[in-house]
Chain A
Amino acid sequence: MTVTETPVTSEAARPAPRRRRRSANRSSRDAWVLVLPALIPVLILSVVPLARGVYLGFTDSRAGLGIKTHVIGFANFSKLWHNSLLLESFRIGLIWAVSVTLLQFLLALGLALLLNEDLRLRWLARTLALIPWAMSPVIVAILWKLLLSPTVGPIDITLNRLHISQTHINWLGDFNTALPAVIIVGVWVGMPQTTITLLAGLQGIPSELQEAAAVDGANTWDRFFHITLPHLRPIIFAITSLDFIWNFNSFGLVYVLTAGGPGGKTMLPMLFAYNEAFRYGNFGYAAAMGDVMVLVVVVFLGLYLRAGLRRSEA
């Protein structure tokens, strides 16, 4: 995510060069000073464990008392390449991540626009919109499992009464509906963070611009596409890329909802890696999966951000 810095205007020509030279020296030093407090804890508690995690992918690290770890190069990775179940989980993971991120973004944008309007009881609406965020993940999964239950859940019964579905369907247990159902829950869970971020971004757009454009005769759609969206662009990219990353890496929610079933239809890659590390004790193999997941998402994001940059320069 690069920032295109607007060049200094030529209004003050003579002080400019001196200021620029001074700020070039100062900017590096300033940057270091501003970053320093974060550095040591980050190094110890984040960089070191991450480095070890990534490194483990190249070893045969396993659980066990007194087990020695040996570097085995790319052996884990070639094993991964032939693990058809893992590859299938990547496919499901990408479908899941793209669907949830896209739906989340579209719905959240709509909600953010609404919450930006001068509606009555706006404070209440803004608070209620954050309900999914306020609830502990421990309870969210259990709650949605109950909501979608064909026996004690209100959703199935309501759909039956409205004649949208004919019989009782176990939405989380049916082979055809499990992934879509899980995606909807994923969207529900992730909406607040996206909504709030977009709302904060919308707040940063000067209302004068909108009013000036309205005076000039632009209608709502024009204003949306030519003022709102361009202003939101950096924030949209920031939050959708983060959302995609989180969604791809999520597994706690789906684990409780379906445990990867039925028949592996909702087996996400993170669940695979978690099982490998925690249930079978193969830390090295699981770390290799993690390394590949990082790579896949980086490639995906790289393409995404490059496409976004190209469009902004057009």
Chain B
Amino acid sequence: MTRRRPMTRAAQYVALAAYLVFLGFPLLWLLSMSLKSPRELASIAPQLIPKHFHWSNYSDALSEQGLLRAGLNSLLVAIASTALTIAVALPAAYALGRFKTRLRGIATGWILVSQLFPVVLIVIPLFMILRSLHLLNSLVGLTLVYVVWTLPFALWMLRGYVAALPPDLEEAAAVDGASRPRILVSIVLPLLRPGIVATAMFAFISSWNEFFFALVLLRGNAQTLPLSLSLFVGSEGQVSLGPLAAAAVLATIPSLLVFAVIQRRLTSGLLAGAVKG
């Protein structure tokens, strides 16, 4: 790594801190809200540290609206759809990125239209299809829908990462006598790791946070986490703010944990020295 002057380093830390304040302060505020009593939440001079720690918000959140069960459901669906999405998108993205086939045009057309066309307008046709397949009100059906609807993004992104890889590497390995599958697994795959990790994070979070499909395609027995959270909101803007904030904090923690674990894999040291001249 290139060495930096101390002044530059200091400036970088300051800039990073500014970014993190902008991005992280809302969560801090949410945490603060989750520990406040209804009275304090309605006072006009809000302070970051609550006057009294109102832990019952957390016990309320956990006991109401089936939060834990919903969290488990969300976790299952998110992990399954992420794994499936990557498994399906990776080979397809490679094909679309490397090979000149008519599929490329068709795929691009589908990717664009599926991302562009307002999702809320296809929800009813999708609902009808799932109903005839008996996949309504099932987590399996929901997972399939998530996979199919995360695929366009996954394909688009992975194709970009594949395109950024110089083909010289594969050609060089082929010249050296390696078979195609071997090239794919031992050279291309490791190089794509940052891209795969980024796409996997996106697939996970899309599924974890998705609300509209879950609202329409599930029916009350099975709930995902966003649906449970919405139950803390009443009519006319009434909100059980304390328990909602507590539930939201609890809902955010798994995602942050997943990120903390996965983000290490974003680095790829393997490209250094891999390109020959």
> Using a CB-CB cutoff of 8 Å, which residues 149-170 of chain A contact chain B?
151-154, 157
Shortest distance between the CB of A278 and any CB in chain B (Å)? 7
Q: A137-B211, A154-B46 are in contact. Are A3 and B97 (CB under 8 A)?
A: yes
Q: List 21 A-B contacts (CB under 8 A).
A: A27-B98, A27-B101, A35-B96, A35-B103, A37-B87, A45-B126, A56-B121, A114-B12, A119-B16, A123-B260, A129-B23, A130-B201, A130-B259, A131-B26, A136-B248, A138-B233, A139-B244, A200-B197, A204-B268, A283-B121, A298-B112
Contact of A203 with B267 at beta-carbon distance under 8 Å, contacts A234-B163, A242-B156 already known: yes
- In the complex the two chains form, is A283's CB within 8 Å of B29's CB? no
B273 touches A206 (CB 8 A): yes
Residues of B within 8 A of A201 (CB): 161, 164, 194-195
Q: How does the 8 Å CB contact mask read for B88-130 relative to A, with 1 for contact and 0 for none?
A: 1101101111111101000110101111111111101110011
Q: Does A49 interact with chain B (Cβ within 8 Å)?
A: yes
Complex interface: chain B residues within 8 A of A33 (CB): 91
Contact A206 B24 (CB under 8 A): no
10 A-B pairs closest in CB distance: A134-B255, A238-B160, A34-B91, A200-B194, A27-B99, A139-B248, A31-B95, A49-B125, A34-B95, A200-B198
**Distance of A7 from chain B, by nearest CB (Å):** 10
A54 within 8 Å of B (CB atoms) = yes
Q: Give Cα distance in the complex from A28 to B95, angstroms.
A: 9
| B16 engages A125 (CB within 8 Å) | yes
For the complex, give the distance between the alpha carbons of A213 and B95 in Å.
34
Whether A38 pairs with B20 at a CB distance below 8 angstroms is no
Which listed segment binds B: A73-81, A84-92, A285-293?
Answer: A285-293
Check B194–A42 contact: CB distance below 8 A: no
Which of B12, B23, B92, B251 contacts A35, CB < 8 Å?
A: B92
Could you tell me the distance between the alpha carbons of A133 and B197 in the complex, rounded to whole angstroms? 15
Interface string of B135-168 (1 = CB under 8 A from A): 0000000001101110111001101110111111
B148 near A42 (CB under 8 angstroms)?
A: yes
**Contact indicator per residue, chain A 183-205, by CB within 8 Å of chain B (1) or not (0):** 00000100111001101110111
Q: Interface centre among A154, A231, A251, A289, by most B CB within 10 Å? A: A154
Q: Which residues of chain A have C-beta atoms less than 8 A from B244's C-beta?
A: 139, 142
Interface assignment of A65: CB less than 8 Å from any CB of chain B: no
Instruction: Please list the residues of chain B having a beta carbon within 8 angstroms of any beta carbon in chain A.
Output: 1-2, 4, 9, 12-13, 15-16, 19-20, 22-24, 26-27, 29-30, 33, 41-46, 48, 87-89, 91-92, 94-101, 103, 107-108, 110, 112-122, 124-126, 129-130, 133, 144-145, 147-149, 151-153, 156-157, 159-161, 163-168, 171, 174-175, 191, 194-195, 197-198, 201-202, 205, 208-209, 211-212, 225-226, 229-230, 233, 239, 241, 244-245, 248, 251-252, 255-256, 259-260, 263-264, 266-268, 271-275
CB distance from B139 to the nearest CB of A (A): 15
Contact between chains at B101 and A28 (CB < 8 Å):
yes
Interface set of A (CB-CB < 8 Å, partner B): 1, 3, 5-6, 8-9, 11-12, 19, 27-28, 30-35, 37-38, 41-42, 44-50, 52-54, 56, 107, 110-111, 114-115, 117-119, 123, 125-140, 142-144, 146-147, 151-154, 157, 188, 191-193, 196-197, 199-201, 203-208, 210-211, 214, 231, 234-235, 237-239, 242, 245-246, 249, 251-252, 270, 273-274, 277-278, 283, 286-287, 289-291, 293-294, 297-298, 301
A133-B255, A134-B259 given as contacts; is B1 within 8 A of A252 (CB)? no
Partner of B161 from A48, A188, A235 at Cβ < 8 Å: A235
Contact of A191 among B23, B96, B103, B145 (CB under 8 A): B23
Known: A129-B23, A143-B30. A52 touches B264 (CB 8 A): no
